[in-house]
Amino acid sequence: MFDSLSDRLGTVFEALRKRGALDERHVNDALRQVRVALLEADVALPVVKEFIASIRERAVGTEVLRSVTPGQMVVKTVHDHLVEMLGGESEGINLTATPPIAIMLVGLQGSGKTTTCAKLARRLSTTQKRRVLMASLDVYRPAAQDQLAVLGKQAEVPTLPIVAGQQPVAIARRAMEVGRLQGYDVVLLDTAGRLHIDDEMMIEAAAVRDATNPAEVLLVADAMTGQDAVTLAESFHQRVGLSGIALTRVDGDARGGAALSMRAATGCPVKLLGVGEKLDAIEDFHPDRLASRILGMGDVVSLVEKASETIDQEEAEKLARKFEKGRFDFNDLAAQLRQMRKMGGMEGLMGMLPGVAKVKKQLAQSRLDDGVLVRSEAIISSMTKAERRNVRLLNGSRRRRIAAGSGTTIQDVNRVVKQYKEMSGMMKKMNKQGKKGIMRHGLPGMPPGPFNFG
């Protein structure tokens, strides 16, 4: 929907490709585009202004490196400064206090507190081996306490038994007491959603804080938040005192400029990112990645990381060996399709690649979605073992049978066969040229597969 900053700057600088250094007029033109790009990414205006002012100082007189355009130079300056403002290194959750350590989650209604609470609890109990107890202090929204109890079961993290009619501060005290008596390391307090201008509710939040002395007070905020982010973060910081920010729905397509606004307004680091509906969809915050995202530059690091996380190293090596020997059959193609699905499917992959906004739109229009992966797998599953090893067996009647067996059409089957042939063609070329050739060019008709990262 929005043009990325690099696109915007591209037009500004097209005319001045050959200049050696950036003079003030060019910088002003560029900064106007930076301003719009940041505002479209929902960075709050006061933050944008401050940002632009300090960029201006840096950019004027900067030598343009020979290998890049002035536009790229400005994008780099902006990117670096964004990273700096977002807070250098990523900071983890503070677990150094004496147990039971209270962690309190606050935020507006519907920002994702309860889900974040369960995700954090699961993460602390599994990867960090802490004994975690969760307690819901939301006595207002219907069934809110049930929600945390259900999520607790899913996350295999105990929740404080619900006592009907008990008020938030009393629940919080009881949670800490249970935490002490039963030897929990961490007690997560999930508070009710509240508006930052709701005096009564903000007093309540402060009272919960005073009763539990939390090591962390995390503001849970939606990545889609608009200009209001500054106001709400400031209010929560003033009234309750924040130690960090958890940004949710980062798996959406919002640029997430709100994170920058809130960081600037409170000085608190972003500590966690919610990246999906499942309970393991929680990540550490990386300033450089969010900076790229705000500027619409994609997120290559996440892609590579996700690839290395989900790809079975052994399987990838096996595949590579087969490649070298020139034996690559349908079983291997199926294995690769499975890998791609594990990495979040086409959409997941595309979202992380820089500069593919257009491709993404085309993909959406051509309806080339994850269904293609699933269908291709189904087609391969409908082949006999002999057919999977030897493509030459696939005559018309066999293809008809495969189409019927997989619930697809002959055209679909032909497409998979063609894809396979293209891949084995590449493979032969690779054997002639050596491995480097294929690494550089990638495979036709396929997004980056495991061997591109090997």
Partner 1 sequence: MTSKQGDENSSGWFGRLKQGLGRTSNSFSSGVGGIFTRRKLDEETLDELEDFLIGADLGAELSEDIRRDLSHRYFDRETSPDTIREVVAGWICKALTPVAQPLVIDPAHRPNVILVIGVNGTGKTTTIGKLAKQFRIGGKRVTLVAGDTFRAAAINQLKIWGERAGCPVVAAAPGADAAGLAYEGLRQAIADGTDILFMDTAGRLHNRADLMAELEKVSRVIKKIDASAPHNCLLVLDATTGQNALAQVEAFAKMLPLSGLIVTKLDGTARGGVLVAIAKRFRLPIHAIGIGEGIDDLRPFAAIDLANALVGLDRRDRG
Is residue 42 a contact residue for partner 1 (CB under 8 A)? yes
Residues 6+ apart with CB under 8 A from 393: 386, 387
CA 243 to chain centre: 22
- CA quadruple 199, 202, 206, 209: dihedral, nearest 10: 170
Is residue 177 a contact residue for partner 1 (CB under 8 A)? no
| Distance between CA atoms of residues 4 and 259, nearest Å | 18
Q: In the set 85, 134, 224, 295, which binds partner 1 (CB under 8 A)?
A: 224
Question: In this chain, which stretch among 172-180, 229-237, 238-246, 407-415 interacts with partner 1, using CB under 8 A?
Answer: 229-237
Is residue 260 a contact residue for partner 1 (CB under 8 A)? no
Q: In the set 59, 75, 108, 217, which binds partner 1 (CB under 8 A)?
A: 108
| Distance between CA atoms of residues 48 and 371, nearest Å | 41
The residue type at 268:
C
Question: In this chain, which stretch among 126-134, 226-234, 328-336, 423-431 interacts with partner 1, using CB under 8 A?
Answer: 226-234
CA R_g for the chain: 26
Give the position of tokens 């979605």: 369
Tokens matching residue 302: 């996440």
Q: Give, as one character, the DSSP assignment of residue 364.
A: H
Is residue 257 a contact residue for partner 1 (CB under 8 A)? yes
User: Which DSSP string do the residues of 144-192 spell out, in sequence order?
Assistant: HHHHHHHHHHHHT--BPPP-TT--HHHHHHHHHHHHHHTT-SEEEEEPP
Q: What are phi and psi of 307, to 5 degrees?
A: -60, -45
Least Å distance between CB 190 and partner 1? 12
Instruction: Give the x-and-dash track for 363-382 against partner 1 (CB under 8 A).
Output: -x----xx------------
Q: What are phi and psi of 229, to 5 degrees?
A: -50, -40
Q: Give, as one character, the DSSP assignment of residue 127.
A: T
Instruction: Give the x-and-dash track for 183-222 against partner 1 (CB under 8 A).
Output: ------------xxx--x---------------------x
Q: Edge to edge, what strands does the sheet with 101-106 contain? A: 132-136, 186-190, 101-106, 216-222, 244-248, 270-274, 282-284
Least Å distance between CB 90 and partner 1? 24
Question: In this chain, which stretch among 88-96, 246-254, 427-435, 439-447 interacts with partner 1, using CB under 8 A?
Answer: 246-254
Least Å distance between CB 433 and partner 1? 37
Is residue 142 a contact residue for partner 1 (CB under 8 A)? yes
Is residue 383 a contact residue for partner 1 (CB under 8 A)? no
User: Which DSSP string do the residues of 134-152 spell out, in sequence order?
Assistant: EEE---SSTTHHHHHHHHH
- Using DSSP, state whether 409 is helix, strand or coil: coil
Q: In the set 3, 91, 185, 253, which binds partner 1 (CB under 8 A)?
A: 253
Least Å distance between CB 142 and partner 1? 4
Q: In the set 347, 359, 400, 429, which binds partner 1 (CB under 8 A)?
A: 347
Q: Indicate left, alpha or beta for 183 from its phi (over 0: left) and psi (-120 to 50: alpha).
A: left
Q: In the set 4, 69, 77, 111, which binds partner 1 (CB under 8 A)?
A: 111
Number of residues that bind partner 1 (CB under 8 A): 55
Least Å distance between CB 423 and partner 1? 25
Question: In this chain, which stretch among 36-44, 283-291, 324-332, 443-451 interacts with partner 1, using CB under 8 A?
Answer: 36-44
Is residue 36 a contact residue for partner 1 (CB under 8 A)? yes
Is residue 168 a contact residue for partner 1 (CB under 8 A)? no
Binding site for partner 1 (CB under 8 A): 1-2, 35-36, 39-42, 44-45, 108-112, 114, 140-144, 146-151, 154, 195-197, 200, 222, 224-229, 231-232, 249, 251-255, 257-258, 277, 347, 351, 364, 369-370
